[in-house]
Amino acid sequence: MAEHNVQEMRDSTRLERWWNRIKHSAFMLFCTLFTLTVSAGRVSTTGLVNSIFTFCELYSGKTMFPYQEQFSKRVIRSVLENDGEEITALFSRQSGKSETISLTAGGLMIILPQLANMPMFADDPRLKMFKDGMWIGIFAPSQRQAQTTYGRIKARIQSKPAQMILADPEFNLYFTTSNGQTVSLSNGSFVTAISASDGSNIEGESFKLIICEECQDISNFKIRKSIHPMGAAYNASIVKIGTATTHKGDFYEAIQRNKRNDAEKKSHIRNHFEYDYKVASKYNPNYAKYVEKEKARLGEKSDEFRMSYCLEWIIERGMFIDIAIFEPQCGEFTLDHVPYDRTNTHVAGIDLGGKGDSTIITMVEVNWAVPAILESRVNEETNEEEVYEAYNTYIKDWHMIENEPDYEQQYPQVCDYLDKWKVARIVCDATREASFAHRLKANRREEVIPYIFTTKSKSELYKHLDKEISAGRARFCAGDNTRYTKEYHMFLEQMGDLQKGYSGAYMVVSHPDEKGAHDDYCDSWALAVWGCSFQGEVNNTQTAKNQFTMKTQKGKDFNRARNRVTARRRR
């Protein structure tokens, strides 16, 4: 019992010394600000940022590493300058990205309203917005993930050093709300954790600082449609934090924007912060030892290690194409799209769309007389000669029928478009509406192949397209006039968003699982390229009118008059 009391006295003494240090530092902070204000009339933003950062470390009892300090100070500056910037942070796993933002957010909730209500800053435009508090929203792919960062902020604010600051007469703060989702202080500040899952309904809130955790897993639609507008009323800074993965999304695009702006000097200050395991290992020996074990467990060249610790985006694993190299490699910049061509041979791929989707026809030119590859070999089992052929193909045009769910209305539009081309083969999606393809087959001269999408058939379709793209045989028109068309941009956008995975031996290719995402252009192109893979013929048969059975105008008038007489008799 005596030993327990001695330990309590030691803890109390240690806490008292700590509190004295905090009070002294806080006093020095305010004295410095006051002196600077009197002498210069205004505290520099840099001085204010440094002072607030020092406060963040003091109230939490934590010391940040240098790379964390850079990120923290940029967030503080963005909030003070109200620049509404999109700040991205790509940190290796467990290197302190969430800890940094937690310490910073908690400190801003306490100190900003305090400074904003001091007489010396009464008219300072940098602080005026925070007189009624600092409002922070934390978003993550799931509620549990959002509560991880939220829980850290809550823990820092409720720590003993922070509690002593809140109770000090200089601050005199107390909690007005403290639950599993929201913490709010009596100065008006609050932080709330919100799920950004696709099914969540989160619109309506307003924030002065928006934090997106594990941003790589939040859908583009949710970020841009629901989260971004929540900062509009206050020109909120948006902080996006995450790690590398296998697919592109809003987080990846935001990083690339910030990198480009930095390289082109479009921004006066850095907005992207990237630190791999090597940087974190320099400052944290325990982290360095753990990563070395991960190298042995996972393998330094494994995808998991490269993404989690080396910050490499392994796009080829999760995306069907790398859009950065797709256009330069497969685009024909001397070829413009044309509205018709009755000279060259073509194959049409039709992806039928219903309500919410468009019907897309991709017209692809192929020359079966000149194969790009022609190889033959003898099958040892059957002793028969097998011939392998491959052909160069070129997209000549796209045709889109949108906002028309009625296939009866679509049919004549499809036929009118096909009539403008010399078509040898039509490969038509028969998954949703098989009768459409069968109707084409019954009424058109061209060969029509109904194609039903199953896991196996779609895997074969896209494996073939992948092979043709990789070999450089599947190409598309990308001339100056084409690149400004709506169809061209939608084609590139859908191809760039197309995601790839595997289910056993089958390749699974689809658009992102988010509202507004489509793969109509991709499916249409894949059907057309597959239709070019084996030779066909153009049916030049023409239907002539029989002059003996053809009705004349005189015959039509006679039949019409006879029908009128018959109708009167029936009445």
The arrangement of strands across the sheet holding 331-332 comes to 331-332, 474-477, 393-401, 359-366, 341-351, 421-429, 447-451
pLDDT given for residue 272 in this prediction: 94
Give pLDDT < 50 ranges for the chain: 1-2, 4, 6, 27, 30-31, 34-35, 37-40
Name the residue with tokens 């909730």.
109
Over the Cα atoms of the chain, what is R_g?
33
What Cα–Cα distance (Å) separates residue 35 from each residue in 28, 41, 552?
A: 10, 9, 105
pLDDT given for residue 263 in this prediction: 84
pLDDT given for residue 438 in this prediction: 92
Burial 264-277 (b: 16+ CB within 10 A, else e): eeeeeeebbbbbbb
Q: What are phi and psi of 177, to 5 degrees?
A: -145, 140
Which of 357, 359, 534, 352 has the alpha carbon at shortest distance from 437? 352
Q: Is the dihedral of CA 427, 428, 431, 434 positive or negative?
A: negative
pLDDT given for residue 53 in this prediction: 92
In this structure, are strands 359-366 and 272-275 parallel, antiparallel, or unpaired? Answer: unpaired
Using CA atoms, how far apart are residues 8 and 112, in angstroms rounded to an integer?
A: 34
pLDDT given for residue 274 in this prediction: 93
pLDDT given for residue 558 in this prediction: 66
pLDDT given for residue 458 in this prediction: 92
Do residues 194 and 218 touch, judged by C-beta distance below 8 A? no
Rounded to 5 degrees, what angle do the CA atoms 245, 474, 452 make? 80
The residue type at 71: F
pLDDT given for residue 491 in this prediction: 94
The distance from CA 42 to its chain's CA centroid, rounded to whole angstroms, is 42
The reported pTM is 0.66
Over residues 372-400, the pLDDT tens digits come to 887 766 666 677 777 778 899 999 999 99
Using CA atoms, how far apart are residues 465 and 462, in angstroms rounded to an integer?
A: 5
Using CA atoms, how far apart are residues 232 and 84, in angstroms rounded to an integer?
A: 9
